[in-house]
Every structure is written in structure tokens, then in C-alpha cells.
Amino acid sequence: METEVKIRLADRHALEQRLAGSGFRISAPRQFESNDLYDTPDRSLRSREMLLRLRQIGGQSKITWKGPGVAGPHKSRPELETTLGSAETAGQIFEQLGYQRVFRYEKYRTEYENGRQHSVVTVDETPIGDFMEIEGEAEWIDSTARQLGFSHTDYILDSYGKLYLDYCRKLGREPGNMVFASQ
């Protein structure tokens, strides 16, 4: 079960200083990440609140399935993830099985840890702004958020896809993929 929250950042550099001052250390340096979401033409996965994702980060590829969310103050949902040899080949396999890529999003991600197992803070630089994700047990999420100067009112439980759609709607833009202009 994955449990997390997102928090929109007004000042990423200030957060990075607070992380360092709070005992967090970089566990995975800043890397470009590309994510492709797949679904059937009739969006059967989405209608069942599921997600099928291929992720490329650095030289590694991962496949992720996420199940329906559980209501609560944090975003919680079942997740299965594993590495694979080639995201491109996996995408071709998905297409042969009737899936199609329905959304692509990109970000630069830096991961931070403070020695607690199964708990991580990530700083994501996206085309729609900077975000922090806090992932771990609910109590750790809340105490880490407070330690870094945030509260429950700052929590965002939406996916990057939903945040992107809201961003496009606010600016009156036709949504496409959430990718950097130079990509």
C-alpha cells in the first residue's frame, strides 16, 4: 500500500535547505523522469480507478500498477512495481494487448531520506511547478510535513494528471501531455 501526499512548493530552494537542516540527505540525485500511462481505448482501467505506468528514470525502466484509492487524509492505494529491461519494448507489448498510451508526463526528481525505512521525501520539478511528495506511514507523513513547515491544509491528493488538467483549464489551454517545452 502506497501512502503519500503532494505539497505545491512556492520556493523549492528554501525547502531543500529545510530538508538538509532537518537531517534529510539526498538518496537519489536529481534525474529526469519520463512516465507513460496506458489504458484501453474505452478507458477501462481509469473507470476502475486503476493506473498502468511505464517509467524511465536514468538508465532504469519500471512498470507500475496502482489500484483504487482508499478515502482518507492521505492518498493511499495499492501499488505493485518492478524493474524491467526496456520500457519501449514493454510499451509495444501493451499495444499488442490492446492498451494505448493515454498520457505522458515528465519531471526532474530528487529523493531524500532521513534513515527511516520505507519513508521518502521527493522534490519534483514539473512543467506545471515544483512539488514535494512525502511517502511513508501516515503519522510519519504528518510529522515530516510539520517539521518542514507544512500542514494538512497544504496536502494535495490529486495525481499529476489531474493537476495538469486543472492547470490547463485555469489557463484556457487544450491539454495534451505534461512535458517540458524542450523535450
Order of strands, edge to edge, in the sheet holding 100-113?
Answer: 75-77, 2-9, 129-135, 120-126, 100-113, 25-39, 51-57, 60-66, 79-84
Is 181 part of a structural domain of the chain?
A: no
In a domain, 179, yes or no: no
Strand, helix or coil for residue 45: helix
Predicted model pTM:
0.94
- Segments forming the whole domain that contains residue 152: 2-171
pLDDT single digits (tens) 20-39:
999 999 999 999 999 999 99
Cell reading at 16: 531543500
The pLDDT value given to residue 115: 86
Q: Is 128 part of any domain?
A: yes
The pLDDT score that the predictor gives to residue 118 is 83
Please give the tally of structural domains in the chain. Answer: 1
Q: What is the CATH number of the domain that holds 97?
A: 2.40.320.10
The predicted structure's pLDDT at residue 65: 98
Give the mean model confidence (pLDDT) for residues 6-11: 98
Q: Indicate if the pLDDT at residue 183 is higher than 70.
A: no
Check residue 108 and give its pLDDT. Answer: 98
Question: CA–CA separation, 117 vs 35, rounded Å?
Answer: 25
Kindly tell me the number of DSSP H helices and DSSP E strands found in the chain: 5, 9
pLDDT at 162: 96
Q: What is the pLDDT of residue 58?
A: 85
17 within some domain: yes
126 in any annotated domain: yes
| Residue 176 lies inside a defined structural domain of this protein | no
Tell me, yes or no, whether 180 lies in a domain: no
Q: Write down the mean pLDDT value for the chain.
A: 96
